[in-house]
Structure 1
């Protein structure tokens, strides 16, 4: 009886694992705007507790939703970007990034303009990731049937009924359940209103996101204010304070008028810089800024810009605006009246650009990565710090006597800003490397670069290094000494990061622990076992988590297992799979499990979200699903679907050395004892064969 019960439970477990999960149901519709203009609408209904990710979710976490409009060239034009409904923002402590996702519902819209009047349909390919306890890489193809496009523009705007995505009568095709596709009988406005309705949980998450957004904007404002204060202490700005305030107090005729002019001068500074932030948002669009910041090309451009700014601050050259600009503005500032005061403020911005430009540029780059109105908020904080002293010293001119004299300390401030700019630059280069998965700038290299930068900064502050604009030092001030000590302490704090320390103070700046030569540190010890001994890796093998020897190619892994006489742990995983990382960090790391993974099995990890393209000769169309297999991830995903009728990750199977299954597959198993029992059962079955 017990044996029968065990068999039934095993069968139920197998059935629960061997299924294709499809937690997102789609409904599509097409609305005619004009004779040859249409709006494609794609509504996603997401099962409870599952998350689907925004097009703009930052790199380094879950995979974004991507739309591809098929055969557009010569047939139709895609007008603007695909818009999407409001997403939820939440910090992921596994990947150490914010993630933007949809819960319950999502809506995407795209306007298109048809240029080929004979066109009968438009196909849209969408690729996305959806996660709960497991992550699934999904893709769909939607087919929108077009009405007849007449030569003359029709007088009445009509709406075309919902068209279901393209389907084929194949047993494993991950297509949309046509029973879920409903004809739209109501106006679009009502349909949109229905889509916008969310659960109370969803509303609470949206409110939390808004609170987080406000906190983020306040953080940008505060850092921008500190940046403006730092700019005040540079040689281009600081000497202007007493000169400008003296002008207003002496040349305005009366103290009251002088104060009024100084206040207007300060407000003019704020208006000029806020206008710059508004211009950036206006050119790129509030929503597009975040998309730009997550682009590989723009991250590399940001890196180059910041290195350029850093070189300027360190004395390699001066960044100046054309002299003709300053001359023209000075001519206007020489006149009397309110307008002249505004041009005085503009003249300050132009003349001081060699010092303020790199700071402003860095703030705009960093604010752009937040998207929305962040560049405007950043410029408000920066300009407020610049304007405030001019207004305060006009109100209290006696304070001028307490100002420190101009001198070499201002060059120290400028050079210090250069070191900070250089450190920040590598954050953007790291983002690009993470997206491309090149592993050129892994965690250890990033930390080593920061150690070198901050150690050099400390030596500079101690007076051991001089830069082009510095004067010889006979001694250093107490303030400079304290700053040198703080930078030295921070540098020493970074060093254990090379051996796997988490470095929580700079969390989010370096690549995550998993993106590392040795994810758990050089000399990592677990259960009395150290990994500092020299090991010879088998051909085609790599070090996986916890320095487990792993293969990323199925055939090569099976060949090695046959040679070694060991069972295979087949691991369907993904770079952007959160629970895959949780399993590796919290279950595989256990002292009772890690030795089994290192010594008793051959690990084959197949990444279903690997975007690297296959060679042309290796590309194919899946005979089971009918999908085009173009990337390495496509290949392993198709393998999992066709062999196990399962498309979720993580997904684990134990095979014998011939590649045949010897136990029931399991998915996400956070209980370490349960996973150990499953793993030992597979190893025992292999040994008994």
Structure 2
């Protein structure tokens, strides 16, 4: 019987006509890419659709070739522009048991739909495929084999993807909302905190031996050189404004030199981080009195000569002279702020220098306006050197952060969390002993008695040391999470952590395959997840779950703080482990991929060779953002569920963010199921 069918099919193909349906030509095929936007390095879905004439059906591709009917097959041209991933997937095929063939086969009526995942390697590739298939009549079972050439270009003139409601659902639709939300959060939380930190650093700079004695000298100049009090106040205000202007100009120049385009290099490459590490060591040794960082005397004298000319320009140069003279003490502090701001945020250096200069200029201005306040100032003395040495210990502790970033990014495994903590414990213990007078530096005079203030300060320092000690045994130390190496680098952990909350079976991960790069990367709190977007999206499809994308980095301070403070909350952790497939995309991972996976970015026309560069390029081109942390929720087709979320330590906000994503995903699933039922009724 089967041989008879093939003979009839051959005759009909030769004749080119058929009594049932007048099928003379191959069906019309349409090919398109489902994704809205994509870049080289993305894996997209190519959909092939064929219109089937009335009273005819087409065999699908997902049954055994040994059954008898011709299985639909797609053969793709081998080209360097793209790569076929996995097998072709029929969408909505019907199933039927055939007594003649003694087996179950799948088929389409009216319309045949096939999806094929394709890795895009270069910009605008032309994807060509040859489809071989068989169309049969459901009246008398006559069959005709066909071969069709199908072409699809990766970029369409009006790319769009429809959600389950039939409305256009574009990733770009959320960009403006995301940017405004992120800027708002950044402006009112993180940048505000950095402003106050810089303001505190400016106050600390005032208490150094280079600057503090100049307060009464400067104020005396303004009060004695002016006949009227009003004129003296105006000059004092101009003097303070000049100080702010000078430091803010420094921040502006720093922003222009080290803007967002240079961010990834500054924050993750070994050279700038090791350079910053040695600079901090240099600052610390300077504060310890080993040497002084000075600007050339000829330059300082030249600026001082300009200040004697009087007028507005003279006051400006007088402020400039103050900045230069105090550089040996303020330079390390201001430099610390600028280096902390060297992470690609254009506003951060400006905000830092504004806060620093405002605190620095405020006392000079206020004491000039209210000169009688000078009587309340303590006299200069050895306490100023004490402040300077304290700052040296702090600089030494901060230097380790830059070394830690290099250690994590390049997987040196030299400065694990417990070793880092041990060094901090020793540094701050030495600071405590110094405050008690047990340690003296060569440039300091020996004191017989320890003041009450030093004792109180020592108590605070040793309290901090005691607080650090449990961290050696796995305590999370949440307030310091951003400055410590990740918990995954801890060699010894005694406590039972919150990581056991909401655990799901490891089989859910095993069913999707072993996560790529798991030998290099880890997720916090024992979360089982992925480090490759395509693998995670495939797993989300298998498990029918939404995808939680964590754009992160080894050197991201805010990422570690979010993980320690927000992710560790049982409500957040339960949702991440049970309701989402989690993927962490490290934008600073330096591991180089095989050459076959390299591609040229459509964004900057550069070859992306490493895991981190491809992840960052994906982030920039897909979402028009490059700051971390950056949390994005998508459904298992890769479409956004809500506006992405940035740095926010409010746990309630994060829980709401996750819940909204789940609700949106479930709503789409419900619409999808309803649509499937409608299609099923129509087919029946």
Query: TM-score, length-normalised on structure 2?
Result: 0.54
Which residue does 1:368 correspond to in 2?
Answer: 342
1:213 to 183, 186, 193: 186
Distance in 2 (alpha carbons) for counterparts of 1:341 and 1:196: 56
Once the 2 structures are TM-superposed, how far is the Cα of residue 315 of structure 1 from its aligned partner? 1.1
Give the Å deviation of 1:459.
Answer: 0.8
Q: Is the 8 A contact 1:281 1:289 kept in 2?
A: no
Helix, strand or coil for the counterpart of 1:572? Answer: coil
Aligned pair in 2 of structure 1 residues 620, 414: CA closer, same or farther (>3 Å)? closer
Q: Is the 8 A contact 2:202 2:356 kept in 1?
A: yes
Task: Rate the CA distance shift 1:463–1:441 in 2: closer, same or farther, 3 A.
Answer: same
Separation in 1 of the partners of 2:179 and 2:392?
39
Aligned partner of 1:165 among 125, 131, 136: 125
Equivalent residue for 2:200, pick from 221, 226, 237: 226
Structure 1 residue 327 and structure 2 residue 272: aligned?
Answer: no
Match of 2:270 in 1: 296
Q: Which residue is 1:98 aligned to?
A: none
Matches within 5 A, 1:241-640: 241-289=215-263, 291-369=265-343, 371-518=345-492, 521=493, 523=494, 571-573=514-516, 574=518, 575-576=520-521, 578=523, 581-583=526-528
Q: CA offset at residue 26 of structure 1?
A: 4.7
Across the aligned residues of Structure 1 and Structure 2, the Cα RMSD in angstroms comes to 4.4
The answer to whether the 8 A contact 1:26-1:44 is kept is: no
For residues 615-642 of structure 1, the C-alpha deviation after alignment (integer angstroms, 9 at most, x for no partner) is xxxx8979xxxxxxx9999xxxxxxxxx
State how 1:635-654 maps to structure 2 within 5 Å: none
Measured after TM superposition, the shift of residue 382 of structure 1 is 0.6
Alpha-carbon distance in 1 for matches of 2:418, 2:34: 38
How far, CA to CA, are the matches of 2:81 and 2:222 in structure 1? Answer: 67
Deviation at 1:581, TM superposition (A): 4.1
Give the equivalent residue in structure 2 for 1:146: none
Shift in alpha-carbon separation, 1:340–1:45, aligned structure 2, 3 A: farther
How far did 1:182 drift? 0.9
Relative distance call for 1:581 and 1:297 in structure 2 (3 A) is farther
Decide whether the 8 Å contact of 1:289 with 1:372 is kept in 2: no
**3-state SS of 1:369 partner:** coil
Q: Does the 8 Å CA contact 1:25/1:46 hold for their aligned counterparts?
A: no
1:26–1:43 CA contact under 8 A, matched in 2? no
Measure the CA separation in 2 of the matches of 1:481 and 1:166: 75
1:284: Cα distance to partner?
Answer: 2.8
**Alignment-derived partner of residue 121 in structure 2:** 141
Residues 474-512 of structure 1: per-residue CA shift (max 9 Å, x gap): 112212211111110001110111111101120111111
Post-superposition CA distance 1:119-148 (Å, at most 9, x none): xx99899xxxxxxxxxxxx974114xxxxx
Q: 1:178 to 1:467 in 2, by over 3 A?
A: farther
User: How many residue pairs were aligned?
Assistant: 413
Mark the CA change 1:476 to 1:280 in structure 2 (over 3 Å): closer, same or farther: same
The answer to whether the Cα contact below 8 Å between 1:443 and 1:513 also exists between their aligned partners in 2 is: yes
Counterpart Cα distance in 1 of 2:591 and 2:281? 30
1:207 and 1:572 mapped to 2: Cα distance? 34
Residue 112 of structure 2: aligned partner: none
Q: 1:197 to 1:514 in 2, by over 3 A?
A: closer
- Per the TM alignment, residue 255 of structure 1 is displaced from its structure 2 partner at its CA by 1.7
**Distance 1:181-1:393 versus aligned 2 partners, 3 A rule:** same
Structure-2 change in CA distance of 1:195 and 1:465 (3 Å) = farther
- Distance verdict in 2 for CA 1:383–1:185, change over 3 Å: closer
- Taking a change above 3 Å as real, the CA distance of residues 356 and 620 of structure 1, as seen in their structure-2 partners, is closer
Contact 2:435 2:455 in 1 (8 A): yes
- Secondary structure, aligned partner of 2:122: strand
Q: Is the 8 A contact 2:421 2:472 kept in 1?
A: yes
Separation in 2 of the partners of 1:581 and 1:170?
A: 46
Q: Distance in 2 between matches of 1:497 and 1:222?
A: 27
Report how far residue 23 of structure 1 moved. 9.6
State the distance in 1 between where 2:177 and 2:375 align: 54
Output one character per residue of 1:141-190: Cα deviation in whole Å (capped at 9) or x when no partner. 114xxxxxxxxxxxxxxxxxxxx33768799xxxxx9465214799xxxx
In structure 2, how many angstroms separate the alpha carbons of the residues matched to 1:610 and 1:302? 20
Shift of the 436–338 alpha-carbon distance from structure 1 to 2, 3 Å rule, reads same
Q: Kindly tell me: are residues 419 and 579 of structure 1, through their superposed partners in 2, closer, same or farther at Cα, counting changes over 3 Å?
A: closer
1:24–1:44 contact (8 Å) kept in structure 2:
no
Tell me how far apart the structure 2 counterparts of residues 497 and 277 of structure 1 sit (CA, whole Å): 36
